[in-house]
Amino acid sequence: MVSIRCPVPRAARPEVIVMTIETTVAGFLLISLTFYVLLGGADFGAGVWTLFARGQSAERQRDAIAKAIVPIWEANHVWLILAVTILFTAFPRAFALLATVLHIPLACMLVGIVLRGSAFAFRTNDVAPRAARQETAHRFWEQVFGLSSVLTPIWLGTIVGAIASGRVRAPSGSFVDSFVRPWLAAFPVSVGLLALAMFAFLAAVYLVQDTHDVRLQDAFRLRGLAAGAAVGIAALLAFILSEDAAPEIRQGLADRPWGRSVLMVAASAGVAAQGLLWARRYRPAAIAAATEATLIVWGWALAQYPYLVEPDLLIQNAAAPPQTLRLLLVLLIAGALVLFPSLYYLYKLFKGDIISPKVDSTS
Amino acid sequence: MPDLLAARSQMAISLAFHIVFAAIGIAMPLMMAIAEWRWLRTRDESYLVLAKRWAKGTAILFAVGAVSGTVLSFELGLLWPHFMEWAGPVIGPLFALEGFAFFTEAIFLGIYLYGWTKIAGSAHLLAGFIVAGSGVASAMAVVTANAWMNTPTGFELVGGRPDRIDLLAVMQNPHALHETIHMVLAAFAATGFVVAGIHAALLLRDRTNRFHRQALAIALMVGGIPALLQPLSGDVLTRTVAKHQPLKLAAIEALFHTEAGAAFRLGGIPDADRQEVRFAVEIPSALSLLLYLDPQATVVGLDQFPRDEWPPLAVVHVAFQVMVGLGFMMTGLALWGGWRWWQGRLADDTWLLRSLVAASPAGFLAIEAGWIVTEVGRQPWIIYQIMRTADAVTPMPGLWVPLVVFTLLYIGLAGVVVWLLWRHIVATADATTIVARR
């Protein structure tokens, strides 16, 4: 399949994914990113709702949000570090290209990550007396935490959108052509908004279950419904823009049978999440929302396959020597054997009533 | 500002900022776990308060360390994409190891900080020791990667790129063991001395406060024992440098000419153009003796290397002197403190307490100086004798902009952290008076 929009002759898009060591490691990369979206992303969403805490229960909303994420956000954040590590170990050419061309949005995202994490830690661990609640410092850190939680997902999504659009190529020409145009365009920014909406949506459906205060549940339910609708709109917008801006992804999703299936299931999961949230069936709603988010990430990855960075880097040709890949795979599997029981223990301790509810939480 | 200089400055500032929080993240968990262990053993409530207070401070510092570490893992590519493209397959697995160690650290720190009432005391204590252990493990993984940049091993060059990569050989590069030990000891020593200095200051105000006496004893133990071992570690590491990076050693010692029976220069400022060191005190034959246990041994000088491969001599030489000077001062204080502790009069020696207050930043200054020796001393190479730093830098122009942005960000964060910890310490001082009086 040769696209006229793409100056390089393209490899045929295979219908099935060939299991090689390269694609297996790429699969681990995708799993890390997925966990980052589902867990780390929701922590950013929690920051969004800190910023938009309104109404009589605003103070309690902010406290409930902080209480919900404080023991887990740092562990959730490590998924991003793991993903970056896999990327530069297994696909160093891709890491070098992305870090070069997307320097500006990556640096902006990092500033957001630093401000978000630091501000949240300052807010939570300031030992000033109890009167600190009224203190300007406390409010200031909450605002910084909230604002950086809004901006960071937009940058992250913009980076993903730029990769998907096939405009991340070795620098040539002017500064703007090389380092700005690849990401400063309608499509990448629409993916940024999609990421923001998705993170806020995930956070809201998780937070509903984290609290037993009915008024807070209602507040987060309404926010979830609004964010869920925003996800739908942003996803539709990105899909429409992708026809011109990311034709390969668009074709991958619209022209291949499994691509269409992923789209359909993702959309259905989104609609189901909304309906379940509306019906106050919170646990299934969270599962549906997480399914929707997962399928959006996987849809992007599958549509790109076999490309890592369109249109120059294939998973195959961007990969490190095989002995590195084998070793990394062993490390990842061994690491997972330690990681998942530890993570389970963490979540069991702090989210025990959510991951294994004693009573039906749908009341 | 040239882009290469901007990139190097940004990397230096990011590392200098992060290493402080990283070192604290290695050592504080051990201190809080020891305090908690004492609480479980003695049921002396002030130990519990101490563990909780230290834990709260650690929560702030760990978070800043985590996010500044994230910045670094991206900066490797943002600033040095050619280096990462080349070296990623070789040292990447070390960062993957570090990633899992960091995962464990973050998970169990969450459990430790927020699980006081949720799990049994022994499980909680175990979580603390897991945090401490994984902190050390992640430091060892990262420092091993840095050691590889000094003495690259474990691969073959095929078409100018690394191939047939052997991770075990990468991990066993000549610098790895000695550099990691040196850094881990430094982290404990530096953190222990800062905390000891803080509690010494508070003891000077309130000599009978049991809380601060206990805190001082733990901090001085955690900081003091590594400070005693550090000269030994430094000696072994220096001899490794002499063997594998003779140019760096010549720069450290400002030894312009290869000579037998080389003198050790104390202090002084090297002048590369005149090839002389001004204001130095020379101890005849001492360098040969230190390096090779032979006063007549030949030490390779800068004259054996082309001038364009010399690192900035004044920076490296002075930084090394600062590091060693501060290190020996801490060793001396550790001996003094250990002697007083042996006598059971640790908190009664006013001059010891005053000295500990004055010396509290010494460890961190020594760490910064030591990293300057390692990193500046490796220049112009990013991978010693394989890739030049100038060839690794990103082609993106205007790098002074991110340099300014991250510098301001880190200066601001440093100010806030100091302010918050100050409040934390003041609050601790007030609150613990109550406990300590019981």
Token duo for residue A293: 């988010």
pLDDT band at A127; cut points 50, 70, 90: low
Q: Does B74 touch chain A (CB under 8 A)?
A: yes
Q: Does A11 touch chain B (CB under 8 A)?
A: no
Name residue B266's beta-bridge partners. Answer: B281
Higher pLDDT, A128 or A86: A86
Amino acid at A197: A
- Taking 90 as the threshold, does the pLDDT of residue A273 lie above it? yes
Structural domain span for residue B332? 227-394
Minimum CA–CA partner of A343 in chain B: B107
- Strands B259-260 and B161-163 come out as unpaired
pLDDT band at B313; cut points 50, 70, 90: very high
Residue B288 lies in a domain: yes
Answer whether A179 sits within 8 Å of B396, measured CB to CB.
yes
pLDDT band at B192; cut points 50, 70, 90: very high
The pLDDT value given to residue A310: 83
- Taking 80 as the threshold, does the pLDDT of residue B276 lie above it? yes
Q: Does B411 touch chain A (CB under 8 A)?
A: no
- Taking 90 as the threshold, does the pLDDT of residue A10 lie above it? no
Average pLDDT over residues A241-265: 87
Average pLDDT over residues A141-163: 95
Average pLDDT over residues B202-220: 91
CB of B61 closer than 8 Å to CB of B113 = no
Cis omega (within 30 of 0) for bond into A311: yes
Tally DSSP H helices, then E strands, for chain B.
14, 10
Question: A21-331 is classed in which CATH architecture?
Answer: Up-down Bundle (1.20)
C-alpha dihedral (B314, B319, B320, B324), degrees to nearest 10: 140
**Lowest model confidence (mean pLDDT) among A337-346, A347-356, B117-126, B222-231:** A347-356
* Test mutation, B32, B107, B396, chain A, max A CBs within 10 A: B107
Give the SS3 label for residue A305: coil
Answer whether A338 sits within 8 Å of B104, measured CB to CB.
yes
Amino acid at B415: G
CB of A45 closer than 8 Å to CB of A149 = yes
Higher pLDDT, A114 or A311: A114
How far is the C-alpha of B361 from the C-alpha of B193, rounded, in Å? Answer: 7
The DSSP annotation for B215-283 comes to HHHHHHHHHHHHHHHHHHHHHHHHHHHHHH-HHHHHHHHT--S-EETPPEEES-EEETTTTEEESPEEE
The pLDDT value given to residue B85: 94
How far is the C-alpha of A145 from the C-alpha of A51, rounded, in Å? Answer: 8
How far is the C-alpha of A168 from the C-alpha of A172, rounded, in Å? Answer: 11
Contact residues, A window 127-166, toward B, CB-based 8 Å cutoff: 127-129
- Taking 50 as the threshold, does the pLDDT of residue A33 lie above it? yes
- C-alpha separations of A52 from A37, A244, B75, B370 in Å: 21, 34, 32, 46
Tally DSSP H helices, then E strands, for chain A.
14, 2
- Strands B264-266 and B259-260 come out as unpaired
- Taking 70 as the threshold, does the pLDDT of residue B311 lie above it? yes
CB of B359 closer than 8 Å to CB of B330 = yes
How far is the C-alpha of A10 from the C-alpha of A109, rounded, in Å? Answer: 32
- Taking 80 as the threshold, does the pLDDT of residue B346 lie above it? yes
The pLDDT value given to residue A13: 64
Token duo for residue B189: 């020593």
The pLDDT value given to residue A14: 66
The pLDDT value given to residue B422: 86
Contact residues, A window 304-333, toward B, CB-based 8 Å cutoff: 320-321, 323-324, 327-328, 331-332
**C-alpha angle A90/B68/B237, rounded to 5°?**
75
pLDDT in tens, B108-159: 999 999 999 999 889 999 999 999 999 999 999 999 999 999 999 999 998 8
Give the SS3 label for residue B399: coil
pLDDT band at A138; cut points 50, 70, 90: confident
The pLDDT value given to residue B159: 86
How far is the C-alpha of A227 from the C-alpha of A193, rounded, in Å? Answer: 11
How many beta-carbon pairs under 8 angstroms link A with B? 214
Answer whether A342 sits within 8 Å of B93, measured CB to CB.
no
CB of A49 closer than 8 Å to CB of A63 = no
Average pLDDT over residues B291-315: 92
Average pLDDT over residues A176-203: 95
- Strands B276-278 and B269-271 come out as antiparallel
CB of A202 closer than 8 Å to CB of A40 = no
Q: Which residues of A touch B100 (CB under 8 A)?
A: 82, 331, 335, 338-339
How far is the C-alpha of B173 from the C-alpha of B171, rounded, in Å? Answer: 6
CB of A304 closer than 8 Å to CB of A259 = no
Contact residues, B window 81-110, toward A, CB-based 8 Å cutoff: 81-82, 84-90, 92-93, 95-100, 102-104, 106-110
- Taking 80 as the threshold, does the pLDDT of residue A355 lie above it? no
The pLDDT value given to residue A304: 87
pLDDT band at B431; cut points 50, 70, 90: low
The pLDDT value given to residue A358: 58
- Taking 80 as the threshold, does the pLDDT of residue B100 lie above it? yes
Average pLDDT over residues A293-319: 89
ipTM: 0.92
Q: How far is CA B86 from the centre of its chain?
A: 26
End-to-end CA distance of chain A: 53
Answer whether B92 sits within 8 Å of A345, measured CB to CB.
no
Average pLDDT over residues A16-42: 92
Average pLDDT over residues B90-119: 93
- In the block, tokens 């590519």 appear at B77
Percent of chain B scoring above 90 in pLDDT = 80
The DSSP annotation for B114-133 comes to H-TTTS-HHHHHHHHHHHHH
Residue B268 lies in a domain: yes
- Taking 60 as the threshold, does the pLDDT of residue A249 lie above it? yes
Give the SS3 label for residue B162: strand
The pLDDT value given to residue B162: 92
Answer whether B114 sits within 8 Å of A70, measured CB to CB.
yes
Tell me which residue of B46, B134, B156 sits closest to B438, measured CA to CA. Answer: B46
Answer whether B97 sits within 8 Å of A324, measured CB to CB.
no
Residue B86 lies in a domain: no
How far is the C-alpha of A285 from the C-alpha of A298, rounded, in Å? Answer: 20
The pLDDT value given to residue A1: 33
* Test mutation, B10, B52, B78, chain A, max A CBs within 10 A: B78
Q: Does B11 touch chain A (CB under 8 A)?
A: no
How far is the C-alpha of B324 from the C-alpha of B369, rounded, in Å? Answer: 9
Q: Which residues of A touch B416 (CB under 8 A)?
A: 118, 122
CA distance B142 to chain A (A): 12
Q: Which residues of A touch B92 (CB under 8 A)?
A: 85, 88-90, 92, 320, 324, 328
The pLDDT value given to residue B429: 63
Answer whether B77 sits within 8 Å of A324, measured CB to CB.
no
Q: How far is CA A90 from the centre of its chain?
A: 21
Minimum CA–CA partner of B163 in chain A: A321
Residue-range domain boundaries for chain A:
21-331
Q: Does A117 touch chain B (CB under 8 A)?
A: yes
Residue B19 lies in a domain: no
pLDDT band at A15; cut points 50, 70, 90: low
How far is the C-alpha of B364 from the C-alpha of B369, rounded, in Å? Answer: 8
**Domain total for chain B?**
1
pLDDT in tens, B11-67: 999 999 999 999 999 999 999 999 999 999 999 998 999 999 899 889 999 999 999
Q: What is the DSSP letter of A71?
A: T
Cis omega (within 30 of 0) for bond into B29: no
List of residues 6+ apart from A354 with CB closer than 8 A: A206, A209, A210, A283, A361
Residue B338 lies in a domain: yes
Tell me which residue of B413, B360, B412 sits closest to B63, measured CA to CA. Answer: B413
The pLDDT value given to residue B420: 87
The DSSP annotation for B324-369 comes to HHHHHHHHHHHHHHHHHHHTT-GGG-HHHHHHHHHHTTHHHHHHHH
- C-alpha separations of B207 from A104, B31, B348 in Å: 54, 22, 8
List of residues 6+ apart from B323 with CB closer than 8 A: B366, B369, B370, B373
Phi, psi values for residue B271, rounded to 5°: -120, 110
Mean pLDDT of chain B: 92
Q: How far is CA A198 from the centre of its chain?
A: 8
Residue B329 lies in a domain: yes
Minimum CA–CA partner of B88 in chain A: A89
Q: Does A70 touch chain B (CB under 8 A)?
A: yes
**Lowest model confidence (mean pLDDT) among A249-253, A321-325, B334-338:** A249-253
pLDDT in tens, A280-289: 999 999 999 9
List of residues 6+ apart from B306 with CB closer than 8 A: none
The pLDDT value given to residue A3: 37
Contact residues, A window 288-307, toward B, CB-based 8 Å cutoff: none
The pLDDT value given to residue A5: 42
Percent of chain A scoring above 90 in pLDDT = 67
- In the block, tokens 């760490």 appear at B367
